[in-house]
Structure 1
Amino acid sequence: MSKTIKLKKGFDINLAGKAKKELVAFKPAQTFAIKPTDFIGLARPKVLVNEGDTVKAGTPILFDKALEKVMYTSPVSGEIVEVKRGEKRKLLEIKILADKEISFETFKKHQTADLKSISREAAVELIAKSGVWPQIIQRPFGVVANPDDTPKSIFISGFDTAPLAPDYGFLLLGQEKYFQAGIDVLKKLSGGKVFLGLNGNESSPEIYNNLQGVEINQFTGPHPAGNVGVHIHHLDPIGKGDLVWTVNPFGVAQIGKLFLDGKYDASKIVAITGSEAKQAVYAKTYSGACVDTMVEGNTKMDNVRVISGNVLSGERINRDGYLGFYHNQITMIPEGDYYEFLGWIKPTMNKLSYHRALGLFSFLNPKKEFVLDSNSRGEERAFVETGVFESVTPMDILPVYLLKAIMAEDYDDMEELGIYEVIEEDLALCEFVDVSKHPVQQIVRKGIELIQFS
C-alpha cells in the first residue's frame, strides 16, 4: 500500500548553477576509464586485459577475486591504452581509447513477455556477466551485492535532493519500456517487494507513470529526502543479518536494455552543474567518460574544483579526470584554497549556513541561490555536541553517538546505534553543518569496515 512520508529534518543547500533542461552536444570524449575506486569493497581486482588489446562495449575488463561471478566490463569499444597502477601496484584505472562508432558484445535478447517466466538463475547469470551487476548495491555496507544472496527487498529512489541534482525524468526521457523491464527483472531477484520512492513535492516524471510490480511511496521534505537509505529506514529497516539491495534509476533502465536489446549500453545523460559552469546544461556521454571536453572552455574562471557527482558526496577529479560509474552529474565550483581573516564571523549576505548565527541572512531569503567554494573555514577541532546532527538526519538514529562509537571502535554500540542503516551519503549533510570540521563520511566508512570485517 502506497504511503506518503513527510520528513521535517534535513537541509536544502541552494546553490547557483542548476542545469537547464537542454541537451547540448559537446565534443565526444576520446578516452574512458574503469576505476576500481568507484566500487567500494572491490579489494582484489584481477585484470583480464593488457595494453594494446581491443575490446567491445560489454567485454570483461576485470573482476574481483572475492566475487568472481561479477564482471566489470568496458563501457565502449576501442583499444586498451593504459593499465594505470599506483603504490604497491594498486590498480587505479584502466583507460580505453574509444572507437568513433561503438560496437557491442551480444547477449541473449528477451521479449517483454518472457521476463515474467525467466528464472532467477538465468537473470542473475546474464546481469553478472554483462557488466550491469555493479549497479546493484547491498545494504548494509554499501558494497556491490553478492549474486548468491537473496535480499528481503529492493529499493529504488526515483529522485535526488542533493545540491544541483539532475532531473531523473530528463535523464531517462523515452525509456519507459526499459524501466518497466528492469522492474520485472528485479522482482525475480528479491525475496520480497520492490520499492520505488518518489518526490511528493512534485508531479511524477512520465517514466514512473503506469509502472507495474513495484510499490510506490511518496517522500516530502528537504535533503536527504531523496536518499535511498532514508527510504529503507522508514519502510523496511535493516537489522543485523538483513540484506536489502538498492539500484539507481539509470541502473534499472540499463538492466531493461540488457534484456530487451541484448547489449550492455553504458550511454547516459549527465548534468553539467555549478556556479562556475558557463553552460549548465545536460550532455550525452558514456559511463567513465573523460570530462575534459565538457570542462575545458566551459568554466568562468581558472581556479575551479571539478567534482564527479554532487558537492556533498562526489569525488574531486582533475579537469581531464573521469566520470564516476555511479555519477550522473559534474559539478564545478570555485576552489577554496585561500585564507579569509575572520571569515566565519563577518556578517555578509553571501554566506549560506545551517546555523543562524553564521548565516542569518540566508534565512531571510531562503530562495536565494548561493555561490559557495570548497573552503572549510577552519580545521578539525574538539567534537562539540550541538544537537545539529540530529536535526538534519531524518532517521531514528543518534549520529553523534554513532560517530563517537566508531571513533572508539565500540562494536556493540555501533550496532545498537544504527551502523547497518547508513553509508556515507546518509550522513554527508552532517559533515556540511559540523562546526567541528570532522570528516564524517570517512568516519562512517571506517565504522562500516570495522563491522564488515570483524
Structure 2
Amino acid sequence: MSSDIRIRKGLDIHLEGEADKVTKQLPLSPLYGIKPSDFHRIIPKLLLREGNEVKAGEALFFSKSDERILFPSPVSGTIKEIIRGERRKVLEIHIEPSKEQVFVNFGEKNIAQMEAEQIKEHLLKAGCWPFIKQRPYDVIANPDGKPKAIFVSACKTHPLAPDYDYILKGKEQQLQTALTALSKLTTGKVHVSVFKDSSLSPFRNLKDIEIHNVSGPHPAGNVSTQIAKISPINKGEVVWVVNPEDLVVIGELFLTGKVHLTRTVALTGERFTNPHYVTAIAGAQIGGVVANQLKEVANTRIISGNVLTGTQVSETGFLGFYDDQITAIPEGNDYDLFGWAKPISNKVSLTRALTFSWLNPKKKYNLNTNTNGEHRAFVVTGMYEEVFPLDIYPMQLLKACLYKDLDELENLGAYEVAPEDFALTEFVCVSKQPHQQIIRNGLDLMMDELG
C-alpha cells in the first residue's frame, strides 16, 4: 500500500559538488573517536579505561539515566585516550584500531520467532538502541515507550543529499529484517517515505511497511514533514524515527550477530576534487576519509553532515555517529564591497530584490559560509512561512522558546518539530538568528519541565 505526499512550501538549494555514483573502499582509519555529544542529553558513564582492549560492538559507556542504553565501539583495538573537559566531562573517546578486527558475537536471531520484548532486549544488549530516536524532543527513544508509529525517510532533500537508492542497493535482506523487527515494536505501522519518481528504491518490494511517495522542495524529506502529513503527534503520543543506513546495521545484527558500523558516506561539496562515495566506519578520523581529496585545505570548511544541519570539523576531528555525508565548501571570510546594494547573480535568495536566483531555479551555486549579515533582533518579513510547510507559526514558536513560555510551546506545536525543521528558516533569516539552537533549547526546557 502506498500514498502520495506533495509539499509545496520550501526551498531547494542547489550546490556544486554532487557525489558521483562511484564508491571507493577505504582502509581502516589510524584513529577513531566516539563523541558523547552526538547523543543529545546523554550523560555517559564509562565502562572502560585508557589502555583497555576493546572489541567491535563492545559497550564503551552507558547512559546515566538508563543503564540499559549502551553505546558500542565501532572498531576493535585499544582505547588510546579519553578527552575530558570541565568537571571531567567526557568529550571524546579515542580508539586505535587493531589490524585484525574482532567482533563481539551477539548471536544470530530469527525475527519471525521473536516477540517484541526479545527484539528490544537484543537491540539494547548490542548497543543498537541509540539508532532509534523519538518525537517529540528528537532524542534517543525511551525503551519503555510504545510508539504509535515508526518512520523512515529514504528521500532526503537537503543540499547534496546522498542517494539512498544507490547506497542501499543490494541490501534488501538487511532492510527487510530490520523493518520486520521494528514492526513488532509498534502498535501502528512502519512508514517509509521514498521519492515519487524513484522506481528503483530498494524499499518498493519490502513487506511489513507502508510506502509513501514524496515530492516537493526541501524540507519534503524531513521526517517531521512526513509525520505531519501521515500521523500528526498530539500531546502524550510518541513516534520513533530511524535513518535508512541504520536499518542496515540493525538488520546485520539479527542476521550475523555482529554490530557493523560501516556505512557509505557521500563526499560532497565544491571543495572536493572528485565528489564520490566512500565506505567508512562511524567515528573515522576525517583526515583519513578525505585524504588527498580536497582542492584546498587552508580556506575550506569541512562539515560532518550537510551544510544546513551538520557540524564543523577539522581533519583531526571524527565522522559523526549518525552522519553519512561529509561536505566541504569555501570559508566565507571574504566580503563584497556594497554587496547588499548591488545586483547579485551568484547567490541564492528567496526575495527578488537585486537578486536573480529565481530566474534559474535549477542553477547550481558555489556558496561559502558567509552569513552576509550580522546578528540582530527578529524582523517580521513573512519569509519563514514561505519555506516552512508545517501547519505551525514558526516566528511565534521561536519567540516562545526564547521567553520560555511552556503553555505557548505546547499550543504552537513544539511536540511536532526538531531543530532540523528550522534549518531553512535559519538560512533565509535576515536577522541571522540561530533558529536550530533556539528550538533545541525550547525542546530541552519542555523535556525538563513536562517530561
In the superposition, the TM-score normalised over structure 1's length comes to 0.96
Q: What secondary structure does 2:67 align onto?
A: strand
Mapped pair 1:180 → 2:176: yes
The residue that corresponds to 1:331 in the other structure is 327
The residue that corresponds to 1:222 in the other structure is 217
The residue that corresponds to 2:167 in the other structure is 171
- Contact persistence 1:152–1:190 (CA under 8 A): yes
User: Which residue among 133, 144, 147 is the counterpart of 2:143?
Assistant: 147
User: Which residue among 337, 352, 371 is the counterpart of 1:376?
Assistant: 371
User: Which residue among 398, 401, 411 is the counterpart of 1:416?
Assistant: 411
Once the two structures are TM-superposed, the CA of residue 293 in structure 1 deviates from its matched residue by: 2.0
Alpha-carbon distance in 1 for matches of 2:3, 2:355: 35
Alpha-carbon distance in 1 for matches of 2:198, 2:354: 35
Q: Which residues of structure 1 form unaligned runs of 5+?
A: none
Alpha-carbon distance in 2 for matches of 1:438, 1:365: 28
The residue that corresponds to 1:315 in the other structure is 311
The residue that corresponds to 2:63 in the other structure is 64
The residue that corresponds to 2:128 in the other structure is 132
Alpha-carbon distance in 2 for matches of 1:311, 1:323: 15
- Contact persistence 2:15–2:367 (CA under 8 A): yes
CA-to-aligned-CA distance 1:177-225 (integer Å, 9 cap, x gap):
000000010011112111001111x224342121111011111100000
CA-to-aligned-CA distance 1:343-369 (integer Å, 9 cap, x gap):
233223211112221532x11122211
Read off the aligned partner of 1:33 and give its amino acid letter: G
- Contact persistence 2:304–2:320 (CA under 8 A): yes
Alpha-carbon distance in 2 for matches of 1:296, 1:303: 16
Once the two structures are TM-superposed, the CA of residue 33 in structure 1 deviates from its matched residue by: 1.1
Alpha-carbon distance in 2 for matches of 1:356, 1:286: 44
- Contact persistence 1:198–1:204 (CA under 8 A): no
Alpha-carbon distance in 2 for matches of 1:358, 1:439: 25
Note the 1:174-213 alignment, pairs <5 A. 174-200=170-196, 202-213=197-208
User: Which residue among 379, 400, 411 is the counterpart of 1:405?
Assistant: 400
The residue that corresponds to 1:237 in the other structure is 232
User: Which residue among 432, 444, 451 is the counterpart of 1:449?
Assistant: 444
Read off the aligned partner of 1:11 and give its amino acid letter: L
Read off the aligned partner of 1:240 and give its amino acid letter: K
- Contact persistence 2:157–2:222 (CA under 8 A): yes
The residue that corresponds to 1:160 in the other structure is 156
Once the two structures are TM-superposed, the CA of residue 116 in structure 1 deviates from its matched residue by: 2.3
Alpha-carbon distance in 2 for matches of 1:205, 1:317: 34
Once the two structures are TM-superposed, the CA of residue 120 in structure 1 deviates from its matched residue by: 1.2
Alpha-carbon distance in 2 for matches of 1:438, 1:212: 44
The residue that corresponds to 2:351 in the other structure is 355
Read off the aligned partner of 2:87 and give its amino acid letter: K
Note the 1:63-102 alignment, pairs <5 A. 63-102=62-101
Once the two structures are TM-superposed, the CA of residue 295 in structure 1 deviates from its matched residue by: 2.6
Once the two structures are TM-superposed, the CA of residue 247 in structure 1 deviates from its matched residue by: 0.2
The residue that corresponds to 1:264 in the other structure is 259
How many residue pairs were aligned? 448
CA-to-aligned-CA distance 1:276-302 (integer Å, 9 cap, x gap):
111201001101111102334221222
Mapped pair 1:103 → 2:102: yes
Q: What secondary structure does 1:450 align onto?
A: helix
Change (3 A) 1:218 1:54: same
Read off the aligned partner of 2:361 and give its amino acid letter: P
Alpha-carbon distance in 2 for matches of 1:204, 1:68: 43
The residue that corresponds to 1:21 in the other structure is 21
Once the two structures are TM-superposed, the CA of residue 380 in structure 1 deviates from its matched residue by: 1.1
Once the two structures are TM-superposed, the CA of residue 310 in structure 1 deviates from its matched residue by: 0.1
- Contact persistence 1:15–1:371 (CA under 8 A): yes
Q: What secondary structure does 2:2 align onto?
A: coil
Read off the aligned partner of 1:402 and give its amino acid letter: L
Read off the aligned partner of 2:286 and give its amino acid letter: V
Q: What do you get for the CA RMSD once the two structures are aligned?
A: 1.2
Q: What secondary structure does 2:379 align onto?
A: coil
- Contact persistence 1:309–1:329 (CA under 8 A): yes
The residue that corresponds to 1:435 in the other structure is 430
- Contact persistence 2:155–2:214 (CA under 8 A): no
Q: Which residues of structure 2 form unaligned runs of 5+?
A: none
User: Which residue among 334, 340, 343 is the counterpart of 1:344?
Assistant: 340
Read off the aligned partner of 1:133 and give its amino acid letter: W
Detail structure 1 runs of 4+ shifted over 3 Å in the superposition: 25-28
> More deviation in 429-438 or 94-103?
94-103
Alpha-carbon distance in 1 for matches of 2:44, 2:220: 34
Once the two structures are TM-superposed, the CA of residue 413 in structure 1 deviates from its matched residue by: 0.9
Alpha-carbon distance in 1 for matches of 2:25, 2:275: 13
Q: What secondary structure does 1:333 align onto?
A: strand
Q: What secondary structure does 1:170 align onto?
A: helix
Alpha-carbon distance in 1 for matches of 2:238, 2:117: 19
- Contact persistence 1:32–1:95 (CA under 8 A): yes
Once the two structures are TM-superposed, the CA of residue 173 in structure 1 deviates from its matched residue by: 2.2
Read off the aligned partner of 2:150 and give its amino acid letter: I
Once the two structures are TM-superposed, the CA of residue 149 in structure 1 deviates from its matched residue by: 1.0
- Contact persistence 2:204–2:211 (CA under 8 A): no
Q: What secondary structure does 2:214 align onto?
A: strand
Once the two structures are TM-superposed, the CA of residue 388 in structure 1 deviates from its matched residue by: 1.1
> More deviation in 410-419 or 289-298?
289-298
Alpha-carbon distance in 2 for matches of 1:182, 1:252: 6
Q: What secondary structure does 1:50 align onto?
A: coil
Alpha-carbon distance in 2 for matches of 1:258, 1:144: 19
- Contact persistence 1:77–1:102 (CA under 8 A): yes
Alpha-carbon distance in 2 for matches of 1:312, 1:142: 17
> More deviation in 363-372 or 10-19?
363-372
Mapped pair 1:283 → 2:278: yes
